[in-house]
Chains A and B, each alone.
Chain A
Amino acid sequence: AAGVIQSPRHLIKEKRETATLKCYPIPRHDTVYWYQQGPGQDPQFLISFYEKMQSDKGSIPDRFSAQQFSDYHSELNMSSLELGDSALYFCASTPRGVGGGYTFGSGTRLTVV
């Protein structure tokens, strides 16, 4: 069965650089959620999209932006990277209105040096 695809799996950037993380949801899943998980931390909600519109916003820094495209894939753009941005970034997708069924991608491990 198709899963949530995230790319890249690993990314190393220097401080003040930019990074773009991509998420391809399960086919026919119209809702995408982004989470950030620091070392030893629980996943923190960043932002979500439903039908290409932002549906909710969490603790996402102003340096980050995201969007969902017509094919429902989503991109998280991160600028002016800081050391503290080093984390695992997960994307999850779900069909709207269905209980359960959040499927997480394998994540992108971002390391800022």
Chain B
Amino acid sequence: GQNIDQPTEMTATEGAIVQINCTYQTSGFNGLFWYQQHAGEAPTFLSYNVLDGLEEKGRFSSFLSRSKGYSYLLLKELQMKDSASYLCAVRWAGGKLIFGQGTELSVKP
């Protein structure tokens, strides 16, 4: 089965660093994705991890530990435009993505 958990909401200050955690239990793991979604818009791809370790892309980094069923998304130098929902998604056997419920991030001045 699949069970993906992430915090419902987080608040951080502009210029700060925030870490959004995601834990998963899935029997057919085939990679983990992070997406950013603004209200009413399509999810936008941020990162992909299939092997353990850290992937860095500019202000965004994502970490994966397959043995622990754990990932995090790290956002640095937060900007107001980073206020959005952040979705953790596990790629399941067969290719479909199963999403967590999303973390609503609010960036305050």
Contact = CB atoms under 8 A, between A and B. Distances in A.
A42 interface: yes
A104 B43 contact: yes
Interface in A16-38: 31, 33
B96 A58 contact: yes
Question: By DSSP majority rule, is chain A's interface helix, strand, loop, or mixed?
Answer: strand
Interface residues of A, number: 27
A20 B91 CA distance: 27
B99 interface: yes
Interface residues of B, number: 20
B101 interface: yes
A107 B95 contact: no
A67 to B, nearest CB: 17
Interface string B87-104: 100000011111111100
Contacts of B101: 41-42
B98 A45 contact: yes
Classify the secondary structure of B's interface with A: loop
Contact of B42 (A48, A58, A101, A105): A105
A17 to B, nearest CB: 23
A88 interface: yes
B7 interface: no
B71 to A, nearest CB: 14
Given A42-B87, A42-B102, A102 B41 contact: no
A7 interface: no
A99 interface: yes
Interface of A: 31, 33, 41-45, 48, 50, 55-56, 58, 88, 90, 92, 94, 96, 99-107, 109
Interface of B: 31, 33, 40-45, 48, 50, 87, 94-102
Task: List 3 tightest A-B contacts by C-beta distance, closest first.
Answer: A100-B48, A104-B42, A42-B99
